[in-house]
A and B are shown apart, each in its own frame.
Chain A
Amino acid sequence: MPHSSFFRFMAPSLIAMLLFIALPTVSIFVQSLYVEHPQVLIETETCQPLGGCVKETTVDVAATAKLRSEAPLGQFNGLGTYVDRNHLAINSVGLLWSRSGSLGEFVSGMMNLRFYRALAFTLFYCFLVTPLAMALGFGIALAVNVVPRLMKGPVIFFSLVPMLITPLVGALILFWMLNSDGILGVALQVLFNDPGLSTQSSAPLTWIMLIVYGTWTNAPFSFIVFYAGLQAVSRDTLEAAMIDGASRWERVRYVVLPSLKPLVLFVLLVQLMDNFRVFEPIISFNASANATSLAFDIYASLNTQTSQLFGSAAATSVITIAFIAVLIVPILARVARELQAGRV
C-alpha cells in the first residue's frame, strides 16, 4: 500500500493516539518537574502600647492568585518531586536503612512511606492474583472439558459476567457481602468464632479480600483462553501418551501444559499488565487506609477537593510508566520478533 493512502486510512487513529496518548506522556513528564506555588504569606507585626508586639502571618490571597495565573504550571522543581518524602523518599530510605536494626524494622518503616506502601501492594496484588487466577482458570477449563457438553454454555455464560462486569461495581458487590454486616462477613465471624471480626479492620485481611476479588474477576479470562486451547491439543499425542502408560496427571504435565505454553505466556502478560493498574477495588472496598496502589495514589492526588497536586500525580505517573515498561519489555520484544517473521 503506498504511503499516501496508508496515512489517509491511518490518520484519524494516529492523530487521536498522538494527541491523547503520546502528547500527554510528554506533558506528564514536564508537569512532574514543576511543583505548585506555595501560598504567598505576609507577616504583619501589630504592636499594642502595653502588650508588646505580636507577629501574625496571613495568606496574601490576591498575590497567590496572581502568581498562580502567571505561571499556572507552578515553579520549577527539577527532580525534587521525585525524591521527596511522598515519592522515592531517597533521604528517608537512607535514614531508615542506617537506623533500623533488622530487616523487619526496615520493611515496616518503608511501609510508612506513601510511595513504597503503594508499590508494595501493587506488586503483591499483581504477582499473587495473576498466578492464582491462572491456576483457577486452568482448573475450571480442565473440569469443563470433562463434564457433559450440555453444561458448557451455562458455565461460559456465568463466567463471563464476573469478568466483564464494571470493576468498581463487581468489587462493590463482593465488598457488600464481605463486610461485617454482609452474608460472607457474618459467615467468617461464625467460622472463626469472633463476633468482632471485620474484614476492614486490619491490613492483612483487607489485602486478602482484594486478592479474593482479583482472583474472582480474573480467573474467567484464563478459563476461556485455556479452554479454547484445550480443544486444540493434539489427540494423537494424548493417545500416544496414554498407550505409553502415562497417568492422567503426567498427560496434563507433559502433553497438555507444553502445548498450551504460548497461551500461558499470552495470558500471563495480559494479566500482569491489567493487574498492575489495580485501582477501582480499593475505592469499592474503602480500603485506602490499609491498601493503596500506584494508580490509586495518582487518582487521589488528582481527586482532591481543593487544589490538585499535578506535580505529584505526574511524578508517580512517570514512575508507574517506567515500571510498566520494564514489565512488558519481554512481550514487546516477542511481538516484535513475531511481527518481523510475519506470523502475527
Chain B
Amino acid sequence: MSMPLPAVLRRPAWLTTLAMGFVILWLIIAAFPFAWTVWGSFKVQTDFFSRDSWWNAITGPMTTRTTGGPFTTDGYYGAWVTTEFWRAALNTLIVTVCVTSISLSFGTLGGYALARSTHRYRFWILVAALFFRAMPEVTLVSGYLFPFFALNIWGHLPTAIIVLVALNQPFTLWMMYSFFQGIPRDLDESALVDGCNRFQAFRLAIMPVMWPGVITTGLFSFLLAYNDFTVTGLVLSKDNQTMVPKIASYLGTIQDEGAIMFAVAAVVSITIPIFLLVMFFQRYLVSGLTAGAVKG
C-alpha cells in the first residue's frame, strides 16, 4: 500500500478542493439552522425576529435593554414553567418509553417467527406489512376517531400508545425479520434438537445474540413515537398533549408578544434528545438506514 499511486489513479488537487468546498457548504446548510435557533432562543422576540437588522439576533441589543444582559432564559421559563411544557415532556417520556418497549417485544417475536417460517402466509404477511407501512398515518387516524369517541377512550395516553405501537409494527417486523435472517438457523435448530421447545430455543439461543438488531430497531421506533404529530395531535386531549402537539399549539397564539419565544425555546428543548441520540448511536442509526437498502 505504500507504493505511490500511478498518475492516473491520483486525484487532481482541484477535485479534492471542490469536494471539500461542497462538503463544507453542506455542513453549513445542515447545521447552521440549529446553531442559529439555539443562539436565538436566548434572545427576546424583537432581537431574534428583528425588523431592523439580523445582526441584532447575534448581539441582542433589545435583550440587553429589557432583561439587563445579552442572554435571557425568559423563553425557557415561559415554555417550561408558565405554559407547563414539562407536563408535555413527561407525557412524551411515557409515550416513547411504552411505545418503544411494547413494539420491540411484539416485533421481535413476530420478526423471529417470520424469519424462521417457510409457509406461504409468511409471504403475505410481509407484503401486507409493506403496504401498511406505505399508508399515510392520517388516513388511518380518520378511521380511529369515530370509534374512539364512541368507546369513550379518546384523549388518553394509553390510546395513543397502542395506536403508535400498531403503526410501528410493519417497520419493526421488517427490520427484525431481516436481522434474524442474518442469524444462522443452526443456532436455534441445534437447541431444538437438544430438546428445547420454540420459546426456550428463542430465549436461550437467540436472545443473547439479538441485541444489536434490537437496539437499531428500537432507535427508529423511539424516533417514530417521539416525532409523531399525526396521532398525538388528533388522538390526545389538551391535558394529555405530548411535546409536538404542544409546540403546534403555541403557533396559534403566535401573535402574543413573547409567546413565539416560548415556541423557540420548546423547539430547542425537543431537539436536544435527538442530538444526544445521534451522538451516541450514530453507528446503529447508519447501519439501520442502510440495512434495508443493501438487502434490496
Assess A12 versus B247: contact at CB under 8 Å? Given A183-B36, A324-B134: no
Verify B278–A17 contact, CB threshold 8 A: no
Interface residues on B, range: 35 or more
Q: Does A143 reach chain B (CB closer than 8 Å)?
A: yes
Verify B119–A6 contact, CB threshold 8 A: yes
Which residues on A sit within 8 Å (CB–CB) of B67? Answer: none
Q: How far is the CA of A3 from the CA of B117 in the complex (A)?
A: 9
Verify A16–B23 contact, CB threshold 8 A: no
Which residues on A sit within 8 Å (CB–CB) of B106? Answer: 12-13, 16
* Mask: chain B, 118-159; 1 = CB below 8 Å from A; 0 = not: 110011011111111111111111111111001000000000
Verify B270–A166 contact, CB threshold 8 A: yes
Give the nearest-CB partner of B131 in chain A.
Answer: A332
CB distance from A295 to the nearest CB of B (A): 5
Give the nearest-CB partner of B142 in chain A.
Answer: A313
CB distance from A13 to the nearest CB of B (A): 4
Which residues on A sit within 8 Å (CB–CB) of B125? Answer: 10, 14
Assess A165 versus B138: contact at CB under 8 Å? Given A173-B267, A174-B33, A339-B126: no
Q: Does B167 reach chain A (CB closer than 8 Å)?
A: yes
User: Helix, strand, loop or mixed for chain A's interface?
Assistant: helix
From B131, B145, B251, B293, contact of A225 by CB (8 A) = B293
Give the nearest-CB partner of A277 in chain B.
Answer: B136
Q: How far is the CA of A338 from the CA of B296 in the complex (A)?
A: 8
User: Helix, strand, loop or mixed for chain B's interface?
Assistant: helix
Give the nearest-CB partner of B126 in chain A.
Answer: A339
Which residues on A sit within 8 Å (CB–CB) of B131? Answer: 325, 328, 332
Verify B140–A20 contact, CB threshold 8 A: yes
Verify A266–B110 contact, CB threshold 8 A: no
CB distance from A220 to the nearest CB of B (A): 7
From B140, B223, B274, B286, contact of A224 by CB (8 A) = B286
Verify B30–A176 contact, CB threshold 8 A: no
Q: Does A314 reach chain B (CB closer than 8 Å)?
A: yes
Verify B278–A169 contact, CB threshold 8 A: no
Q: How far is the CA of A157 from the CA of B116 in the complex (A)?
A: 36
Q: Does B101 reach chain A (CB closer than 8 Å)?
A: no
Which residues on B sit within 8 Å (CB–CB) of A24? Answer: 140, 143-144
Q: Does A82 reach chain B (CB closer than 8 Å)?
A: no
Assess A10 versus B167: contact at CB under 8 Å? Given A155-B26, A176-B37: no
Verify B296–A343 contact, CB threshold 8 A: yes
Q: How far is the CA of A168 from the CA of B294 in the complex (A)?
A: 30
Which residues on A sit within 8 Å (CB–CB) of B233? Answer: 299, 303
Verify B264–A266 contact, CB threshold 8 A: no
Which residues on B sit within 8 Å (CB–CB) of A182? Answer: 49, 54
Verify B229–A158 contact, CB threshold 8 A: no
CB distance from A162 to the nearest CB of B (A): 5
Q: Could you name 10 residue pairs across A and B whose Cβ atoms are closer than 8 Å?
A: A12-B105, A21-B166, A27-B146, A166-B244, A225-B293, A232-B294, A283-B251, A299-B138, A303-B234, A331-B130
Interface residues of B (CB under 8 A from A): 8-9, 11, 15-16, 18-20, 22-23, 26-27, 29-31, 33-34, 36-37, 40, 48-51, 54, 57, 105-107, 109-110, 112-114, 116-119, 122-123, 125-147, 150, 162-163, 165-167, 169-170, 172-173, 178, 181, 197-198, 202, 223, 226-227, 229-230, 233-234, 244, 247-248, 251, 263-264, 267, 270-271, 274-275, 277-279, 282, 285-286, 289-290, 292-296
